[in-house]
Structure formats: structure tokens, C-alpha cells
């Protein structure tokens, strides 16, 4: 009996130990307390690159965006999804179909009792299908003024019957082509309030995404304001520029314009020495001229007066993975004859900005046959900047013999090309 008793006691001790052990194996996401900081365990978002958001996910426009978040402490944490800054879900799961375009998704995890919070943010790229009508920015045409003419560039646009800008329909669009580039002309609705809106291209049977436009009622300089040649005609392009009364550079104020329209100002640049100067402006009703910047508009900017001559200016996207014939596959805006006029020893400068939603950024300087020009190599781009090239006779000869001059690569915009 004593042996049986000891055996039973041993079994009871073992069971107790197993029970205690199993209690310590509870779900770790549930056992954290309300006083802990919330954590997003899954999904993992890529780190920012040079302070810019990275691409979190890329899908085709016929796919469904399907996201599920794991957080801790699970019992106390509230999850909220934001798409382009608008709250779209208070659940740990979010599913939706999206039109083609680039979107910003943000996940916020909050413990309401303590106010402790963390978040993750990145880009969602929704790619159009082959044959879809599609449009993305070429230059400053995505900044628009209510009641004024505007234009969208893109591909497969001939079937588009109307546009939707936010919740507003634009019934009348005019299709055209220019140098192989398709476009749609339209008039911005007068009632459109200032803000950023998604654009949809509407055909007889479907609707397709076309990125965003930004409407403004302020006088806004978009391009041409940050570089000029002394004692030469200076052209600034923008929005609502017919409202301008004056432009001030350093201590010199210009009130007379040779051209003044809603989209353009032209005047003679003062006789200033090479250097950087403050530029500002006033409208006829006393408001400040705003200057466009990707980080936010400002009421003053800096203009560089130099002896550089601008040979091209715009905002031309470059993506060598696009199909042949797509105007954004290469930059080919400098003609062979124009390049032939450059003198050996001259400095060619290519001013560029990164498309931060692309996964990498590279540039090559090439002939029309996609061969690198002598003395140039593939360049990894890490931030907005300028690439300088010293023109040689070998370069000129190669451009002449191989059908022209190209800037090729991936993930950037060419904004200006100058020669000095």
C-alpha cells in the first residue's frame, strides 16, 4: 500500500507540473498588458530610402489588395488603415480593389487606454494591364487651376469618353497626339476646390485609374523660376500667373512682362552677376506668389543666375522596362543635330529628380543604339541631383553615327538639360 501511495503522489506531482507548464504557454500576443507599447509584428514594411517612403507591395489592377495585421498586445490594440490619408478600416484585415496608380497605405496601432501608438507606412503600386487606358505625369500638367484648360498625357487614350476628378465628372475631353505622345485636353471644373484628387479615365464600358492632380486657386510658379541667364528673356511657367503684379529678384523688382497669361510669364532678367538670389512675387490683390516644391510650396525660392543655356526643360519620366514605343522608355528630346552643335569641352548638365515609388534608380547616357557614350558608365542615383558630362568629339561622332542621343535608365525624371 505504501508503494501504491507513493506512486500516486508522484503522478499527481507530475500532472501539477504539466498543468503549470501549459499555463505559461498562452498566446504571447494576448498576455502582454495594457501598459505595454503596441507593436506591429506583421507585415514588415521596408525602411525609408533617403527619407522617402518605399514600395510595400506591387499588384496588377485586376488583383485584390489583401492585408492582414498581427499586433501585440492583441487584446488591447486597435488597428486602423489609412489609404492616401483617408481612414478605410478599423479591422486587422483590409481587402479592396484599386484602380491603377500609386497609393500611400498607413497602418496605425493604438492602445486607446494609454494613447500609446505606432505605425507603418509605404507605397502600394497598382499596375495597369496591357491595353488599359493610363496616364501619369509628364511635366507640371498635373497641377491645375479651376476653370482653366488642362492636359493629361498617357497611352491607349483614344477610347476615353470622360474624366472623373474626385467626385466631379468632366464630360468633354479631346483626344490628340503630339510627337508620338497621346494626350487628352479638358477644362478643369470651375467648382473644383483646392486639393489633390484621383483621376479616372472613363470609357464606354469601364473606368481606369490615372494617378492624381492637384488643384490650386493661388498663383503658383511650377517651372523655370530657379535658373536664368542675366540680361536674357526669362520664362516662368505655372498656374494663375495672369494675376501677377510683380517679381522681385534680390533688390530688383520687375513689373513689366513681355508675356503674361494664366500659364506663363516672360520678362527680361536683370543684369546680375552669376550666383544664387532670392526670388519672390506679389499678385495684383497682394497675395504672395507660391513656388512649387515636392516637399511643399513656399513663398520664396532661390534662382541661380549662370551662363548655362537651357536646351530642354520639363519633367520627363524614364523607365527602360516599358515596352518599345512608350514615350517614357527613354529620354530622346535632344536631337542629333542639336547635339552636333555642342562644342568639345562644353559641360552638359542633366538635372533630375527621383521617382520615389520606384524600386531602384539608375541612369545611362547613350547613343540612339543604346550604347554608352565614350567615357560614361551606368550611374546609381540615390537623391535628386545633376549629372555633368564634358562633351568630347568622340561623343559627338558616336551620336552622329548611331542615330542620336538618349538618356536611359529607371526610376527618375529628367527636369532640365543645359549646356555651358
- Residue ranges covered by each domain of the chain: 39-127, 134-215, 220-305, 309-419
CATH class of 39-127: mainly beta
**Distance in angstroms (rounded) separating the CA atoms of residues 392 and 375:** 9
Predicted confidence band of residue 343 (pLDDT cuts 50, 70, 90) = very high
Alpha carbons 232 and 420: distance in angstroms, whole number: 15
Burial class (CB in 10 A: 0-12, 13-18, 19+), 172: exposed
Specify whether the CB–CB gap between 76 and 34 falls below 8 A.
yes
As a whole number of angstroms, the distance between CA 103 and CA 126 comes to 8
pLDDT at 176 over 80: yes
Q: What is the pLDDT of residue 103?
A: 96
- Higher-pLDDT residue of 368 and 28 is 368
- The whole-number pLDDT of residue 27 equals 52
Q: 134-215 maps to which CATH number?
A: 2.60.40.10
* DSSP one-letter code for 32: S
> Is the bond preceding residue 10 a cis peptide, omega within 30 degrees?
no
pLDDT tens sequence across 72-87: 999 999 999 999 999 9
How confident is the model over 318-340, as a mean pLDDT? 92
Assessment of whether the complete model's pTM goes beyond 0.85:
no
Superfamily grouping for domain 220-305: Immunoglobulins (2.60.40.10)
| Cross-strand partners of 109 | 79, 118
**Equal CATH topology for 39-127 and 220-305:** yes
Could you tell me which residues come within 8 angstroms of residue 88 by beta carbon, excluding any fewer than 6 positions away?
81, 82, 94, 96
* Strand-pair partners of 42: 70
**Residue 306 confidence class, pLDDT cut points 50, 70, 90:** confident
Amino acid at each position: 500500500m505504501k508503494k501504491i501511495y507513493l506512486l500516486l503522489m508522484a503522478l499527481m506531482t507530475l500532472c501539477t507540473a504539466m498543468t503549470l507548464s501549459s499555463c505559461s504557454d498562452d498566446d504571447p500576443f494576448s498576455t502582454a498588458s495594457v501598459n505595454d507599447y503596441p507593436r506591429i509584428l506583421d507585415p514588415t514594411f521596408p525602411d525609408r530610402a533617403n527619407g522617402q517612403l518605399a514600395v510595400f507591395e506591387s499588384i496588377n489592377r485586376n488583383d485584390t489588395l489583401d492585408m492582414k495585421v498581427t499586433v501585440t498586445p492583441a487584446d488591447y490594440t486597435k488597428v486602423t488603415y489609412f489609404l492616401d490619408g483617408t481612414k478605410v478600416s478599423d479591422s486587422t484585415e483590409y481587402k479592396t480593389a484599386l484602380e491603377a496608380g500609386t497609393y500611400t497605405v498607413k497602418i496605425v496601432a493604438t492602445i486607446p487606454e494609454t494613447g500609446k501608438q505606432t505605425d507603418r507606412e509605404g507605397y502600394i503600386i497598382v499596375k495597369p494591364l496591357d491595353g488599359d487606358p493610363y496616364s501619369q505625369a509628364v511635366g507640371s500638367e498635373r497641377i491645375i487651376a479651376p476653370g482653366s484648360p488642362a492636359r493629361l498625357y498617357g497611352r491607349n487614350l483614344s477610347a476615353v469618353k470622360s474624366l472623373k476628378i474626385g467626385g466631379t465628372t468632366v464630360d468633354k475631353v479631346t483626344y490628340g497626339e503630339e510627337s508620338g505622345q497621346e494626350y487628352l485636353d479638358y477644362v478643369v471644373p470651375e467648382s473644383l476646390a483646392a486639393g489633390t484628387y484621383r483621376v479616372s479615365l472613363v470609357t464606354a464600358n469601364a473606368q481606369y485609374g490615372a494617378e492624381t492632380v492637384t488643384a490650386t486657386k493661388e498663383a503658383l510658379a511650377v517651372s523655370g523660376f530657379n535658373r536664368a541667364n542675366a540680361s536674357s528673356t526669362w520664362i516662368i511657367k505655372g498656374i494663375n500667373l495672369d494675376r501677377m503684379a510683380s517679381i522681385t529678384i534680390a533688390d530688383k523688382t520687375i513689373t513689366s512682362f513681355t508675356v503674361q497669361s494664366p500659364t506663363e510669364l516672360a520678362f527680361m532678367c536683370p543684369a546680375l552677376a552669376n550666383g544664387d538670389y532670392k526670388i519672390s512675387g506679389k499678385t495684383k490683390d497682394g497675395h504672395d506668389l507660391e513656388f512649387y516644391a515636392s516637399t511643399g510650396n513656399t513663398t520664396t525660392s532661390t534662382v541661380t543666375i549662370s551662363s548655362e543655356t537651357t536646351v530642354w526643360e520639363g519633367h520627363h519620366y524614364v523607365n527602360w522596362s516599358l515596352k518599345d514605343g512608350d514615350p517614357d522608355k527613354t529620354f530622346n528630346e535632344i536631337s542629333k543635330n542639336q547635339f552636333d552643335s555642342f562644342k568639345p569641352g562644353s559641360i552638359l548638365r542633366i538635372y533630375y529628380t527621383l521617382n520615389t515609388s520606384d524600386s531602384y534608380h539608375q541612369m545611362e547616357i547613350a547613343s540612339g543604339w543604346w550604347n554608352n557614350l565614350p567615357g560614361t558608365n551606368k550611374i546609381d542615383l540615390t537623391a535628386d541631383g545633376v549629372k555633368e558630362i564634358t562633351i568630347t568629339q568622340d561623343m559627338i561622332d558616336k551620336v552622329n553615327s548611331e542615330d542620336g542621343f538618349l538618356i536611359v535608365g529607371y526610376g527618375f525624371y529628367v527636369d532640365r538639360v543645359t549646356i555651358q
